[in-house]
Structure 1
């Protein structure tokens, strides 16, 4: 048998028995009539066979690793134990031949055009309601029909983005399952899938000639920028609900990929009828909002008063043509499955055409005949709310009591429900245990409005069910995704998302300097948390090393030093009572407390908890990190959230701390080498330096302000110098005479030691002086004044004075440390007040509703 014949009949090991697994569903690869694979799939099958089973499995694992390291995730609704789940990618793409795609693209553009016309009519003349093409009860019962959005400016009501889910029925007929017009998600995931696939299968991608996605995203940029024709270079922001959104990765990814600022509602404010971005540099006007937030949450003043995610007054700014939102507010009404039965007649009326791809059969229960049909055929149908997304109930899975309860619920408010045919989706080949097996599949397509119509992404996001008997293929249920390859008759040209710009001799870098206040605050806290983690890890490592030495051959002095360090650890981390409690137990048996401080993610002030806070702050500014930096962040998260497979003992804890310090230092180095050293970096580093000062002061105050036995004090100094990464420097610099005076000189007053207090306060002053400020007068502002106080106090201090003993205390040292701590704490508060809040949050006093005639 020839290779071609073997591939056609799927007689190879990879696809052995694939045809025998076919059920009643249409398969995207296998022809039941001919008993062989479809012709356009054969080159891919040959290529996968050539790779080999082991290499194919390795590449599959590599795909999951790349997705995890790149932070690609999706929050799974039913998973209460995890914050998010790593995105799953099947390494066998879905193939669509060029001829099929041409027809599908035309049908999708027709549907997007139709929905655009419906949207403008519903919030304008409402001719479709007046003529009975859309029942009034269906429209006004939908909570996503937002009456305040009536009669907005025409440019503010155009549908910029459209998406829909598609699948074939058993006879191969393509059906539209649902429409996405509010915040169509998935394009960013489709792009990430493509990037991973082209990395894993570069030769296959070129040989098969697949359409690239870059032109689509260039079109997205161009379409968004043209929404405000009067601005040559409009400021565009991506509005996200925040890190708790199930698709936050995509929001951050698209913002970074397209070059826009990622903002949350509290980053924006409406003033004088315009929308402003609250940035470190002050308020900057926003022209276009690419929203990923449900429309009802966008303006708590006029829409949902309970929303804490939106911008009060946003709708009024739209009315005054000061901002454009894509997609328009109110577009969520188009997602209602209740519209589907009426689309054929609407298409005839508005377009004079039949729908080129029909919708899945749907019956709105607000009509008597349709209601009776739904009630009579309930076990065969899927019941959905006309307003609630993710509300589908697959009735075939219900028992008699559940069916009776659902039937009663529908009868009480029939106009709020639709019944849909339970379509048997087509299947697509999916790599399961290194063998191709059919799985139910749904493809999501994406379109963007252009000056001439709608342009479709030459690809899409295909999702498949995990199990053979499962009809759940959504990401919300933890489905598997696929890249979608549209086969091309000729090689695509290599295009960039950013078109080439002709140099005019002038360059405006204002956009580079804008840093949203929320992002600025998160960067500041990234710096504080990463430094808190490092200081905690280093002290824990020193404590464990001393504990090992003391257990082996320590004397009373070693034990006394260890006890002081343990108590200092509790003080520095704030994990009271800890080692400050019953000294006779924990101090002599510290293992359990140390293990808790290192591994317990719920222990406030412990290392794992602080690292989790660092990861969460870093995730909030996901769009600002380079790929390498993000991989290090992911490594930190993975290291301290993985299951504890190995035995937990002092050795394993010490190893964990070594790894933690290495990852932390890798992050600091990568961030410093990949971020521009502008205000973003300055705030991160200011946060680090402030935290290092405060942690260092706590440690030195507890350990050195009271005198100890000379041997104990010597051991303490060595431990402190080791914790501060200064022991080697101290030994080399002061070979003849090592004392508390030389240690304080190095740790507090030496401006060349990157670990010293002096180095920190001088660096803080340098970066604080570089921050933007509104004070144009000659005198210092509060932050500069506090920096000057700290640096002056350090400059005039002398180690010989600080070691002076009064009774059993070093009072000068304690006074010095207290003064610096008060000054740096005041500086942190002043920075927060000045740079991290520009306007007060609005509070709803009364509900505003715009009354309009139905």
Structure 2
């Protein structure tokens, strides 16, 4: 890392970057933004009313030599051991307090200290399992100015940065020997297994998240993907008989390890914050009993504490018998009277921090305060001095950042990540760098949108031959339902038998692989519901786009041909569009209208509205946005290629030029949905995750087809009009080629309408037919644990209706019978969807805080 004002031009990496020139760097910056969108890398604002924003990443990596990193690694590893020792002591012997090495108020007065967690211990050598330490290069040496131990975030962002920059600077990345990041997550997964309480089978771990609106929702989901563990929310868990269980869509399943991203005071509304909607009643008691291991332990936030900073050198000697390797900024804890006097006298030259992080309490730069603000802060400190500390302001080294005006030098910090590994700690090589917003500022905050940087640690000779897994190997991970889950233990398969002299292949003699216990059998109801609706909304948007494209073609061909069969067919299809989408035009199209009356109706405007208006229920854009929202809610289940398709789809719909032709636009939309369907079909293991997505897709397709049949072939019309309507129906159902071939060969029903009815409703071999959808739904639900009798009865009833249907009845007076059949099918499909919802998507009721009736002034309840 350098404090100079130029790119490193004395090494091959720096020279390669410098050779790009400003235009080349701007191109790389644009590529970086595109990859961020494609990968769905986001950061929240903490405000549920504001949408997630794209992650900020500078294309220039921060480069460290192997020796520099080795020195940092030694210091951070020692510091993490020290923090672990302090955490263990704080909830155990409390030697630091008894021997007055640290004032009691510095620990017991910290908001992150929970007496309820006293003497809770994890199995193994460590209580602090993962941590993050923030470093800055100041005065030529690395300084540790902050720690994250409550629920450390950012390691997955660092991996996402590496994946993106390895593509943006692909050739340079391939030519540079770098220390790899991937092994860090393998170690983390192994460590979670090692800290589990004793179990009968393989330990089962989950990652507890505040939800998809969390600031670091992407980091949580990507971490879950890299580890292969489910991402859960509080409503997915319950405590029964003193242990934690996951509420899957089939049954309760035991949980042995919870890696939490929910702050400790929110995890148990029974013993901690009673108003928390993010916690599980009884969670702390289960931890206390040792039936579940919580990582990091409840109360680990007490060492995320600048009140400890002045005492760390002597604490390190007392607990580790060593001198502290990484210095900290000079720090004054206001709980010490002499320190408080110094802080109050020098307030406007210091950085003032609350010793505990919290909502509404932020770090203040004294130089940025007005005299009134400084006086108010002094009053706050004097009122509760133990809650405040102050540090000297660091003169941080800078790194170049690409801007439209060229390279800009920005103050830079590096967040390092550690995870327990046996008796020691392993570090993520390099970690993640963040930079200030401008050249004058040293304020760096993800919340405020500080850009990040990939950190390249040049590999040592040992790293170069270690066979470490490639970081880019996670370019195509998937969730638990994907064939591309990175980091899962390899499954050993028997080698295929060699052909013998008789030409036969012997049956492998190896025993079958037992995959039971390797994962939870089914997702939680919340997750299952999002997967189901991801399938439904994706199919709804795709089906609507196909129908709109058919309607657009008819408008182009027949809108000006009043009184023709084509105009009549157009009227039927436009009415079907209104009925299927539930969105009626301002004025219906009249195929007999002429003159000003005809010109007053503009079908193309209505169709464009149905394609692009994201606020209109029934539109393609509305369904696409709901599909993306459902996917983001379960992003740990999705292959990362999912976001490329979603990103392209979003850009297509949002950036459509005013007045652009609709048909090419809809073709681009369909390309994206076909890509999504292909990702789901070809990248997911056929398990319950797949089953819920596919079931949603199949129900939606069946309902769409039934409604479309009802409003196209459900009425008797002149044969020539009926023929054109039938052709339009078949195009919308992607079945027209097969229909034409059968008609030419004289196969199937003789009439076009009857043949179409047979093909899109009854043909078991047509992937677009209703019967095909029901067959697939039955197969999907066979993968789901314990389907209810009501679901099986609904499927059987639908099969019965379809088996009794006869395409030849369309001839003559059969249309009334067809309408009745289609109405019955639509009702049965709705009932099937409702039955699936009631069986598999029952959510936990929101917790409510009961009013307190106890009065200390009376003698009992209500007194």
TM-score between both structures, scaled by the size of structure 2: 0.85
The residue aligned with 2:705 is 696
Work out the number of aligned pairs and report it: 804
What are the superposed Cα offsets for residues 666-713 of structure 1, whole Å, 9 maximum, x if unpaired?
Answer: 211221111112332222221111111222223333344344455544
TM-superposed deviation, 1:357: 1.6
CA 226–685 in structure 1, closer or farther in 2 if over 3 Å, else same = same
| Aligned counterparts of 1:385 and 1:585: Cα–Cα separation in 2 | 70
The residue aligned with 2:806 is 798
Contact 1:725 1:755 in 2 (8 A): yes
TM-superposed deviation, 1:732: 3.0
Contact 1:210 1:492 in 2 (8 A): no
Q: Residues 85-124 of structure 1: matches in 2 within 5 Å?
A: 85-91=54-60, 93-124=61-92
Q: Residue 519 of structure 1 is aligned with which of 519, 527, 533?
A: 527
Mean CA deviation greater in 315-324 or 469-478:
469-478
| Aligned counterparts of 1:500 and 1:701: Cα–Cα separation in 2 | 51
Q: Residues 273-288 of structure 1: matches in 2 within 5 Å?
A: 273-288=242-257
| Aligned counterparts of 1:590 and 1:604: Cα–Cα separation in 2 | 18
Q: Residues 497-536 of structure 1: matches in 2 within 5 Å?
A: 507-510=513-516, 511=518, 514-517=521-524, 518-536=526-544
| Aligned counterparts of 1:210 and 1:783: Cα–Cα separation in 2 | 54
| Aligned counterparts of 1:829 and 1:524: Cα–Cα separation in 2 | 12
Contact 1:679 1:771 in 2 (8 A): yes
CA 749–702 in structure 1, closer or farther in 2 if over 3 Å, else same = same
Q: Residue 467 of structure 2 is aligned with which of 481, 494, 517?
A: 494
Mean CA deviation greater in 382-391 or 605-614:
382-391
1:180 aligns with 2:186: no
What are the superposed Cα offsets for residues 333-373 of structure 1, whole Å, 9 maximum, x if unpaired?
Answer: 22233332333343343334442222223333344433333
TM-superposed deviation, 1:822: 1.8
Q: Residues 390-429 of structure 1: matches in 2 within 5 Å?
A: 391-429=362-400
What are the superposed Cα offsets for residues 617-668 of structure 1, whole Å, 9 maximum, x if unpaired?
Answer: 112222233333442233223323x344x2324x1x3222111112111211
1:764 aligns with 2:789: no
Q: Residue 242 of structure 1 is aligned with which of 211, 217, 232?
A: 211
CA 819–314 in structure 1, closer or farther in 2 if over 3 Å, else same = same
1:445 aligns with 2:445: no
| Aligned counterparts of 1:571 and 1:587: Cα–Cα separation in 2 | 22
Instruction: List runs of 5+ in structure 2 lacking aligned partners.
Output: 470-486, 494-509, 854-863
Contact 1:94 1:428 in 2 (8 A): yes
CA 288–585 in structure 1, closer or farther in 2 if over 3 Å, else same = farther
| Aligned counterparts of 1:281 and 1:443: Cα–Cα separation in 2 | 44
Mean CA deviation greater in 796-805 or 117-126:
796-805
Alpha-carbon RMSD across the aligned residues, in angstroms, is 3.4
TM-superposed deviation, 1:136: 4.1
Contact 1:438 1:468 in 2 (8 A): yes
| Aligned counterparts of 1:241 and 1:815: Cα–Cα separation in 2 | 48
Instruction: List runs of 5+ in structure 1 lacking aligned partners.
Output: 1-27, 776-780, 849-854
TM-superposed deviation, 1:467: 2.3
Contact 1:804 1:811 in 2 (8 A): no
| Aligned counterparts of 1:847 and 1:206: Cα–Cα separation in 2 | 64
Q: Residue 233 of structure 2 is aligned with which of 250, 264, 283?
A: 264
TM-superposed deviation, 1:539: 1.8
* SS of residue in 2 equivalent to 1:90: coil
The residue aligned with 1:741 is 754
TM-superposed deviation, 1:117: 1.9
| Aligned counterparts of 2:693 and 2:712: Cα–Cα separation in 1 | 29
What are the superposed Cα offsets for residues 453-490 of structure 1, whole Å, 9 maximum, x if unpaired?
Answer: 22222221111224222323332222222222333441
* SS of residue in 1 equivalent to 2:327: coil
Mean CA deviation greater in 502-511 or 461-470:
502-511
CA 554–400 in structure 1, closer or farther in 2 if over 3 Å, else same = farther
The residue aligned with 1:459 is 430
* SS of residue in 1 equivalent to 2:659: coil
What are the superposed Cα offsets for residues 797-840 of structure 1, whole Å, 9 maximum, x if unpaired?
Answer: 1133356649xxx4322221121122111111111222233866
| Aligned counterparts of 2:600 and 2:704: Cα–Cα separation in 1 | 22
TM-superposed deviation, 1:331: 0.9
Mean CA deviation greater in 653-662 or 470-479:
470-479
The residue aligned with 1:145 is 113
1:550 aligns with 2:545: no
TM-superposed deviation, 1:151: 2.3
TM-superposed deviation, 1:745: 2.4
TM-superposed deviation, 1:540: 1.7
| Aligned counterparts of 2:797 and 2:324: Cα–Cα separation in 1 | 74
| Aligned counterparts of 2:765 and 2:175: Cα–Cα separation in 1 | 58
Mean CA deviation greater in 94-103 or 458-467:
94-103
| Aligned counterparts of 1:660 and 1:314: Cα–Cα separation in 2 | 46
The residue aligned with 1:829 is 834
Mean CA deviation greater in 407-416 or 486-495:
407-416
| Aligned counterparts of 2:604 and 2:647: Cα–Cα separation in 1 | 28
Mean CA deviation greater in 197-206 or 796-805:
197-206
Q: Residues 587-736 of structure 1: matches in 2 within 5 Å?
A: 588-640=601-653, 642-644=654-656, 646-649=657-660, 651=661, 653-708=662-717, 711-735=720-744
1:66 aligns with 2:35: yes
Q: Residues 370-389 of structure 1: matches in 2 within 5 Å?
A: 370-389=339-358
What are the superposed Cα offsets for residues 149-172 of structure 1, whole Å, 9 maximum, x if unpaired?
Answer: 222135398100111101022x22
| Aligned counterparts of 1:79 and 1:763: Cα–Cα separation in 2 | 38
Contact 1:182 1:327 in 2 (8 A): yes
1:299 aligns with 2:306: no
Contact 2:122 2:195 in 1 (8 A): no
| Aligned counterparts of 1:697 and 1:203: Cα–Cα separation in 2 | 53
Contact 1:77 1:477 in 2 (8 A): no
CA 659–254 in structure 1, closer or farther in 2 if over 3 Å, else same = same
Mean CA deviation greater in 561-570 or 322-331:
561-570
| Aligned counterparts of 1:697 and 1:43: Cα–Cα separation in 2 | 64
CA 587–557 in structure 1, closer or farther in 2 if over 3 Å, else same = farther
CA 516–843 in structure 1, closer or farther in 2 if over 3 Å, else same = farther
CA 672–367 in structure 1, closer or farther in 2 if over 3 Å, else same = same
The residue aligned with 1:228 is 196
The residue aligned with 1:816 is 821
TM-superposed deviation, 1:442: 0.1
* SS of residue in 2 equivalent to 1:837: coil
What are the superposed Cα offsets for residues 90-113 of structure 1, whole Å, 9 maximum, x if unpaired?
Answer: 32x223333333332222122212
| Aligned counterparts of 2:512 and 2:818: Cα–Cα separation in 1 | 55
The residue aligned with 1:210 is 178
TM-superposed deviation, 1:134: 4.1
* SS of residue in 1 equivalent to 2:59: strand
The residue aligned with 1:15 is none
| Aligned counterparts of 2:95 and 2:589: Cα–Cα separation in 1 | 76
CA 769–431 in structure 1, closer or farther in 2 if over 3 Å, else same = closer
Contact 1:566 1:579 in 2 (8 A): no
| Aligned counterparts of 1:121 and 1:847: Cα–Cα separation in 2 | 36
Mean CA deviation greater in 566-575 or 663-672:
566-575
Contact 1:527 1:686 in 2 (8 A): yes
Contact 1:276 1:283 in 2 (8 A): yes
CA 563–308 in structure 1, closer or farther in 2 if over 3 Å, else same = farther
1:313 aligns with 2:282: yes
The residue aligned with 2:187 is 219
Mean CA deviation greater in 176-185 or 577-586:
577-586
The residue aligned with 1:755 is 768
TM-superposed deviation, 1:51: 6.1
